[in-house]
Structure 1
Amino acid sequence: MNQRALRRAAGLHSRAREAVYGYDFARARAQLEQALAVLADAPAPDHVDLIPMRVRVLVTAAYADTEIGRVDLGLGRLDIADRLVDDIADPGQRTELAGLSLEQRGFLLIRVGRSEEGLQILEQAAEVLERSLADGIGEASVLAILYLNRSLAHIMNGQPDAATAELNRCVELSERYDLDPTISYKAKHNLGYVAYMSGDMPTALRRYEDNARLCRRSALSLLPVVLLDQARAMLAAGLAEEAARTLDEALPLFRKQRGGQDAAEAEIARAAAALLDGDTELARRRARIAERSFAKRGNARWAAIAALTGIRARTKTALRTGRVRQTLVEEAIKLAESLRALMLEDEMALALLLAIRLELRRGDVGAAEVLLDMVPRASSMTPIDHKMLLRLCRAEIAVARGRTRSALAEASAGLGELGRVRDRMGGMELVCGTALHGQELGELAVRLVLDRPRPDPRQLFGWLERTRAQVYRYEPLPAIDDPIVAEKAAELRTLRRAVQTFRLDGRPSSRLEKQTAALEREVLRLGWSSSTWGRPRPVARLDEVTDTLGDRALVSLATSRGALVAVVVTRSRVRMVRLDSSATADEQAARLHADLDALAPDTLPAPVIEVVKGSAARSAGELDAQIVRPLLSLVGDRELIIVPTGALYAVPWGSLPSLRARPLVVAPSATAWLAASTTAAATGRAVLARGPMLTGDVVEQDKLRSVYPRATMLEGEGATVAEVLNALDGAELAHFAAHGEHEPTNALFSRLELADGPLFAYEVARLRQPPRQVVLAACELALNYVRPGDEALGYAGALLAGGVQTVVAATSRVGDAAAAGAMVEYHERLASGVAPARALAESIAQDPFRRPFICLGAG
């Protein structure tokens, strides 16, 4: 009769283990309790034959208990299991089960934050289990899981090499014994976490994306853990919005699985995402939820980390408002002491840094200096945002003591360190995202230069170049063929076209739109880890810029403390001019943009045109008066290179009265302009591509054919994405007459509509030999989504970053007839030998408000 009970208990235990692997702890606990009841109700419940199974059930139940917050219950079950092991007659089985219980105890201690104690126990368990397996006793899966768990302790202790060795052992053992594949999935996932801790974000994100794809296909229960660590890597790369979306997908899955520890960790990560995005109240709420959950579980380490996130949010609010309470300083210092006792060195340092900034804002520089002496040196494993905060605190103390040179040295060292991190990044979004971590340090440096009685414009120029538009500093690497990316891009194109068809037919498309958004994110993430974005170029030196300018002038605009400032560079001198409120300029730029959008339709009645043009003229005049006229005595009648800032990226500069018919180009930085201007020009064919759904005169096809009689013409069904990309590679000039759409929240998915679907910006950005010049004739794809650090991303920006030297595009909507007229005139001048900037200026001067094109890049 005992054999029947044993079989029933074994079956329940097996199913419970499957539920545990799937993070379904509620179901696992129910089955384990049932198994224990079956064993207790056996005819001879104390018989020696039942003891091994009772031990196995107790060990598994201990894990399930701990994962839902019943830590004491879990450890108590292991105490019972240890006592039962002594009654097992067979020595081999006794050894195996003793090792199993030890392994589980060590892991549970790690999960509740007692990693040192847990690691010692795991080392004892490993000796027992390795010896047993060598003697042919026990299950290889137990030892593989031990290696997996021991890697977690090494990860928590900041020992990446030791963690990697354990994970490789786990994978090797899993494959040798053909174990449950979820064990190998977890090990490979943790290899991504080791890469994340080491600062290798492309590798970490690649491993996470690969694992997420595997989990969605064959191990859905593991997906939320993968998403959590993926989001953490995104946060390290400054991608707050992407991290928030990823965590919002993961959290409901964790709650469904009742995975208390991981769910609470996800709440902390969600708080961090909110903090990066500037939502301090949401960050505080999420941190409180996590702290209560960890306290309930008895996990002092993670409860302290959650409390730190809350204090970080409160500190950000206090610094923004200027209302700093002494109690908040005391809380931060007290928490630092707790974190030190818990051996959380990086977190302890962060708490002290927050206290330092609060003390400085209260005016107690001495207290801040005392706290700074307590901050440990940053290690190779210290997160980059913590390192930047340390640099910022040192710089702010130096400012408070009147040591401006020392403060600038800290800023210089910090931005250099951040640059080295950026150089390892894959994908344009990651390169941009990392700028977030150095934003305050860069702003401090610019402010220090401007606050001097006689600001040095040369020094200001240098700092502006170091702190802005870094994505354009990279020389693009040759494209790497990735069949997975190509497959996903084709699928995305098909979905996009299906959404468009559904909308035209009046059918609901919400389901397809959700699928499209998910696939966009997947393609974008694959791009992050395909390779580094490019080979870093040095930031442009002022003498390099002046040597290349010739008779032109460069105007670099920037904002500091709500005021606009311009640095004007000519071959012979450098000057700085203050230009009043940046908010005023931004408001006028937004009004002008709205007016030009309203003017775009070809069929507007003449009275409406006149009214809207009058409004546009007023906004253009206000911008001209604030920004351009104060500079005219310095720039004279020179051709201009304008480096905008913020909302001014959307200004069609040729519409401002003082700049009409003046040749000018817009560049994201002087470094980007210099790189584009000094790159060898491509020589080759012209490509003329026409997309669908255009009015008949938008391209003025016959006239453009006569201008470029040998051009490659792509139109109708022949203007497919593949054909267009193939033609673009190595071309000298590419002219697109195609409708497109600027995607403000995901600039690399701004798109041009071709015969078989959209041509995305990210696809053009990786051409092997991009065209020298690209003209975007029928859409507003000069628009950008401006990220921290004045990183302006959009379709035109992606082309420039990908190696195109000059892009002509509109900053606002433009009518088909207006675009056709402007572009024919432009190409006729261009073909006659006129430079792009001059050809465009002359072409748009006749009707600048309905021809809002700008020349970007080299010109």
Structure 2
Amino acid sequence: MIDTLLAGALDAKETGDLTEGHRLLGTALRHCAGDPALTARVQAVMVALLTASGRTAEALVLADRAEPHLAGADLERLSLHRSYARASQGKVDRPARPGSDDPVWRAARFMANGISLAQAGRFQAAESALGAAASLAARTGPRRLELMVRHNEAHLAGLRGQFSRALGIFAEIAPEFTGERRAQHRLDHASALLAAGLCGDARELLAETVGAAARAGFAADAATALLARAEAELACGDAALAAESAREAELAFAAQSRPGWEAQARSVLLRAQAARGERSASLLVSVRTTAARLEAFGWTDPALRTRVEAALAFPAEPDLLPRPVTAASAALRLRAYRTTAHVHWARGEETQARKALRDALRTAASLGASGDSVELRGVLGGACADLSPLAVRLARTDRELLELEELRRSILFPAPARRPPTGRLSGRARALSTGAATTRPTVTTSDLLAGLHGIGLLELVRAGDHLLALAVRDGRVRRAALGSYDAAVRETRLICAALTRAMTDGSSPATPIASLRTRFAPALTLLDGLELVIAPTGSLYGLPWTTVTEAPFTVVPSATAWLLAQERRAEPGPVVLLSGPGLRHTDSELASIAALYPDARIHTDAGALAGARLAHIAAHGVHLHDDPMGSHLDLCSGPLTGHDLNTLEPPPSVMVLSACDTGQGNDLPGLPGILLSVGVRTVIASVTPLPDAAAPALMADLHRHLSDGATPTAALAALPRTPGRLGLQSYGAGT
């Protein structure tokens, strides 16, 4: 009888009927007949319901009262409910061994451990704990337990910056959640949306959550959703509404005896007031008090976030300058370093600003390299966009600016976690790259300058609307001003349109070509007569660089990426040819190419790409800006995504993409950038649409040079300079 009532109370809580849950527990207590062990079992379940109702202090008192009378599985269950109550107060318990033989409660303990580990930034350990929970849930059920494991897997993915995966799982499981779980699902879903930069979507979801949780009596979740809504409103730039939501959340937390959360709501309120321009003495006092309270509660991230915003609002106050601590999340340490750099610069403290700038870039690069999330790197790159103008001002030499720019680029395109051969790198880089296969090699500026011997580097730097070029020749770095970045982007769009038009009506693209050559002449003159490595920036990855220079060249995400691609082993495998649907001339295109290589084979299975020395794919490509690794080539056998390519071991050495404008991209250069990131040495693709009818002849001409032993850059340079060819270019090693 007692077991049935307790199970019913927990089911009522899960489905959103707290009133029914409390009624069932009242009935259970009457059946205990004064038995302390039975009473304690009822009280353990009541801890969970009281916490959900926002009565956290009562819940913890009840947990202490019940604990002496419980043992074994019952004590384990109480421990989990107490952890829930403590988390509601803002205190995350350390991971603990499962103490129950019941597979459902063992799975619950593994989930609690996974959440605790994830919050501490120990993502691999968290993944292992959730994997154990998933295994138990799959074997024993119920479905509700499987859903909670999936929910926590999505939450972990969001914390790791795998936003597409996180949002996909949240959307997939959302229809199956009800009651309290629906509120908690929406809270974590909104957290992932905010981290991905989708503050408007998060704000809308949280507005629904606040009302639904309050109506169902889940006061704790309603207050937490109010606070999250305030954060979303602040991220959307609506400081006035954020202040109102934060004030309401603060009052709710105070009524629920949740002092840690109350201090966090006060922090959001103060940040909103600062965002509205308030700079009063009372605000300054409140900031100091609130940051100290949060630190006392052990809430490192909110405390540091409070100091970060305060330092920007009150730059003259030395004690507010944030000091990043190891216990804070890497993302928040990055924010603190960025703030510190700007504050020191505003004070005229260049040495300190320079150090903080380097710390910020290194933290962002380390965070981006810690996983395989291209989306996270994009968010980090956007977060650090304000550091480029600062780097231009703070760099004492052009060489130092190159070093800072390469560090910034490593955020978006970290060194691949593969062990490169040791041909061209210096002794130090060689030593650093010969460890385990998962070790990312370190390349210094000296390594770069030595590796560029006889080759010119053109690396673009954007500082606001100012466009600069760093030209490297014979170990010397020189800077050239190239005017307006926005104007260069407009000229890029004009030349792409002019080349597309010229392919259809024979018109001349001479005027936009002349304009571009004039813009880049100050930098290219410094590199006259050299083969080039070109590292664009932003939308200038979409520029057909053949219109600017007649020298052989390859386009790269960074000079470091080029040097490491040079070191990657060329695969000795066959030539693999694949095609996609909707292109009328692919049969003749592939047949003419196959005739040039004795070992060429036309395949339908993308798995044949593994180990190919050369792959030619005649298929349309789709680049997804919001899901880069989901970008794909449309093959006859189905889409070939970045995720699919990442499983190829080893990937092809050289890939030629012959259809449409598969070279287009921004910062991380589209499909070529994805291919380079998974280990392809060189990609040939076009930044302008390549007409289906013109592709066979152009590709046959290109492959005649490649089959004769020419490098990709040399083969491209030998082609006639027709409008269709001008958009075709090499990415990566170029060899």
The reply to whether residue 195 of structure 1 matches residue 120 of structure 2 is: no
Secondary structure of the residue that 1:567 maps to in structure 2?
strand
What is the rounded CA distance, in whole Å, between the counterparts of 1:447 and 1:387 in structure 2? 22
Equivalent position amino acid for 1:386 in 2: L
What is the rounded CA distance, in whole Å, between the counterparts of 2:500 and 2:223 in structure 1? 46
What is the rounded CA distance, in whole Å, between the counterparts of 2:284 and 2:59 in structure 1? 29
1:434 deviation in Å?
Answer: 4.1
Secondary structure of the residue that 1:164 maps to in structure 2?
coil
Contact between 1:738 and 1:777, CA under 8 Å: does it hold in 2? yes
Q: Please identify the structure whose Cα radius of gyration is greater.
A: 1
- Once the two structures are superposed, the pairs formed by residues 139-178 of structure 1 within 5 Å of their partners are 140=73, 143-152=75-84, 162-165=93-96, 168-169=97-98, 172-173=99-100, 176-177=101-102
Selected match of 2:448 from 541, 545, 548: 545
What is the rounded CA distance, in whole Å, between the counterparts of 2:714 and 2:473 in structure 1? 19
Equivalent position amino acid for 2:12 in 1: A
Contact between 2:554 and 2:729, CA under 8 Å: does it hold in 1? yes
1:127 deviation in Å?
Answer: 2.4
What is the rounded CA distance, in whole Å, between the counterparts of 1:263 and 1:622 in structure 2? 59
Selected match of 2:634 from 736, 753, 763: 753
RMSD between superposed Cα atoms in Å: 3.9
**Residue deviations 1:16-61 (CA, integer Å, cap 9, x gap):** 5312023x13xx42x368x59xxxxxxxxxxxxxxxx63647xxxx
Selected match of 1:261 from 197, 217, 220: 220
Selected match of 2:651 from 739, 752, 770: 770
Equivalent position amino acid for 1:398 in 2: H
What is aligned with 1:17? Answer: 10
Secondary structure of the residue that 1:326 maps to in structure 2?
coil
1:635 deviation in Å?
Answer: 0.6
What is aligned with 2:534? Answer: 642
Identify if the C-alpha distance between structure 1 residues 402 and 251 changes in structure 2 by more than 3 Å, giving closer, same or farther.
Answer: closer
**Residue deviations 1:124-160 (CA, integer Å, cap 9, x gap):** 5322333xxx6xxxxx56x444211333466578876
- Once the two structures are superposed, the pairs formed by residues 54-69 of structure 1 within 5 Å of their partners are 54=26, 56=28
The reply to whether residue 651 of structure 1 matches residue 569 of structure 2 is: no
Selected match of 1:702 from 581, 585, 591: 591
The reply to whether residue 352 of structure 1 matches residue 307 of structure 2 is: yes
1:423 deviation in Å?
Answer: 3.7
1:580 deviation in Å?
Answer: 1.6
- Once the two structures are superposed, the pairs formed by residues 444-463 of structure 1 within 5 Å of their partners are 445-449=390-394, 455-463=396-404
The reply to whether residue 97 of structure 1 matches residue 50 of structure 2 is: no
Give the share of equivalent positions with the same residue, in percent: 25
1:446 deviation in Å?
Answer: 0.7
**Residue deviations 1:480-514 (CA, integer Å, cap 9, x gap):** xxxxxxxxxxxxxxxxxxxxxxxxxxxxxxxxxxx
The reply to whether residue 337 of structure 1 matches residue 289 of structure 2 is: yes
Identify if the C-alpha distance between structure 1 residues 830 and 850 changes in structure 2 by more than 3 Å, giving closer, same or farther.
Answer: closer
Q: Could you list the runs of 5+ residues in structure 2 that have no partner in the other structure?
A: 131-148, 155-168, 420-435
What is the rounded CA distance, in whole Å, between the counterparts of 1:584 and 1:698 in structure 2? 42
What is aligned with 1:712? Answer: 601
What is aligned with 2:408? Answer: 467
What is aligned with 2:335? Answer: 389
Identify if the C-alpha distance between structure 1 residues 751 and 393 changes in structure 2 by more than 3 Å, giving closer, same or farther.
Answer: closer
1:265 deviation in Å?
Answer: 3.1
What is aligned with 1:309? Answer: 268
Contact between 1:195 and 1:201, CA under 8 Å: does it hold in 2? yes
What is aligned with 1:416? Answer: 362
Equivalent position amino acid for 1:456 in 2: T
What is aligned with 1:579? Answer: 482
Equivalent position amino acid for 1:586 in 2: V
What is the rounded CA distance, in whole Å, between the counterparts of 2:411 and 2:84 in structure 1? 36
**Residue deviations 1:297-351 (CA, integer Å, cap 9, x gap):** 6246435434533554665x56xxxxx4424x74364155245446444323322
Equivalent position amino acid for 2:657 in 1: L
Contact between 1:158 and 1:381, CA under 8 Å: does it hold in 2? no
TM-score normalized with structure 1 length = 0.70
Secondary structure of the residue that 1:569 maps to in structure 2?
strand
What is aligned with 2:133? Answer: none
What is aligned with 2:721? Answer: 846
1:774 deviation in Å?
Answer: 0.4
What is the rounded CA distance, in whole Å, between the counterparts of 2:629 and 2:500 in structure 1? 22
What is the rounded CA distance, in whole Å, between the counterparts of 2:343 and 2:365 in structure 1? 23
What is the rounded CA distance, in whole Å, between the counterparts of 2:68 and 2:611 in structure 1? 62
What is the rounded CA distance, in whole Å, between the counterparts of 2:400 and 2:623 in structure 1? 35
1:118 deviation in Å?
Answer: 6.4
- Equivalent pairs, count: 672
Contact between 1:737 and 1:777, CA under 8 Å: does it hold in 2? yes
Contact between 1:468 and 1:669, CA under 8 Å: does it hold in 2? yes
The reply to whether residue 555 of structure 1 matches residue 454 of structure 2 is: no
What is the rounded CA distance, in whole Å, between the counterparts of 1:378 and 1:650 in structure 2? 38
The reply to whether residue 809 of structure 1 matches residue 685 of structure 2 is: yes
Identify if the C-alpha distance between structure 1 residues 751 and 313 changes in structure 2 by more than 3 Å, giving closer, same or farther.
Answer: farther
Secondary structure of the residue that 1:535 maps to in structure 2?
coil
What is the rounded CA distance, in whole Å, between the counterparts of 1:301 and 1:534 in structure 2? 43
- Once the two structures are superposed, the pairs formed by residues 490-505 of structure 1 within 5 Å of their partners are none
Contact between 2:577 and 2:590, CA under 8 Å: does it hold in 1? no
What is aligned with 2:733? Answer: 858
Selected match of 2:473 from 567, 570, 575: 570
What is the rounded CA distance, in whole Å, between the counterparts of 2:62 and 2:640 in structure 1? 57
Selected match of 2:699 from 823, 829, 835: 823
- Once the two structures are superposed, the pairs formed by residues 42-441 of structure 1 within 5 Å of their partners are 54=26, 56=28, 90-91=33-34, 93-94=35-36, 96-97=38-39, 100-101=42-43, 104=46, 108=50, 112=54, 122-130=63-71, 140=73, 143-152=75-84, 162-165=93-96, 168-169=97-98, 172-173=99-100, 176-177=101-102, 181=104, 186-201=108-123, 207=130, 209=150, 211=152, 216=173, 220-221=177-178, 222=181, 224-226=183-185, 228-229=187-188, 232=191, 238-241=195-198, 252=208, 256=212, 258=216, 259-266=218-225, 268-269=227-228, 272=231, 279-281=236-238, 285=241, 288-289=244-245, 291-293=247-249, 295-296=251-252, 298-299=255-256, 301-309=260-268, 311-312=270-271, 315=274, 324-327=277-280, 330-331=282-283, 333-338=285-290, 340-341=292-293, 343-344=296-297, 345-346=299-300, 347-360=302-315, 365=316, 368-372=317-321, 378-436=324-382, 438-440=384-386
Contact between 2:247 and 2:265, CA under 8 Å: does it hold in 1? yes
1:753 deviation in Å?
Answer: 1.3
Contact between 1:336 and 1:348, CA under 8 Å: does it hold in 2? no
1:412 deviation in Å?
Answer: 2.3
Equivalent position amino acid for 2:611 in 1: G
Equivalent position amino acid for 1:406 in 2: Q
1:654 deviation in Å?
Answer: 0.8
What is aligned with 2:523? Answer: 631
Contact between 1:772 and 1:805, CA under 8 Å: does it hold in 2? yes
Contact between 2:267 and 2:290, CA under 8 Å: does it hold in 1? no
What is aligned with 1:483? Answer: none
Secondary structure of the residue that 2:611 maps to in structure 1?
coil
What is the rounded CA distance, in whole Å, between the counterparts of 1:106 and 1:744 in structure 2? 42
What is aligned with 1:64? Answer: none
1:428 deviation in Å?
Answer: 3.0
Secondary structure of the residue that 1:702 maps to in structure 2?
helix
Contact between 2:645 and 2:675, CA under 8 Å: does it hold in 1? yes
Identify if the C-alpha distance between structure 1 residues 839 and 10 changes in structure 2 by more than 3 Å, giving closer, same or farther.
Answer: closer
1:769 deviation in Å?
Answer: 0.6
What is aligned with 1:72? Answer: none
What is the rounded CA distance, in whole Å, between the counterparts of 1:470 and 1:330 in structure 2? 39
What is the rounded CA distance, in whole Å, between the counterparts of 1:744 and 1:464 in structure 2? 23
Secondary structure of the residue that 1:545 maps to in structure 2?
helix
What is aligned with 2:136? Answer: none
TM-score normalized with structure 2 length = 0.80
Secondary structure of the residue that 1:280 maps to in structure 2?
coil
Q: Could you list the runs of 5+ residues in structure 1 that have no partner in the other structure?
A: 1-6, 37-52, 58-84, 135-139, 319-323, 479-532
1:758 deviation in Å?
Answer: 1.1
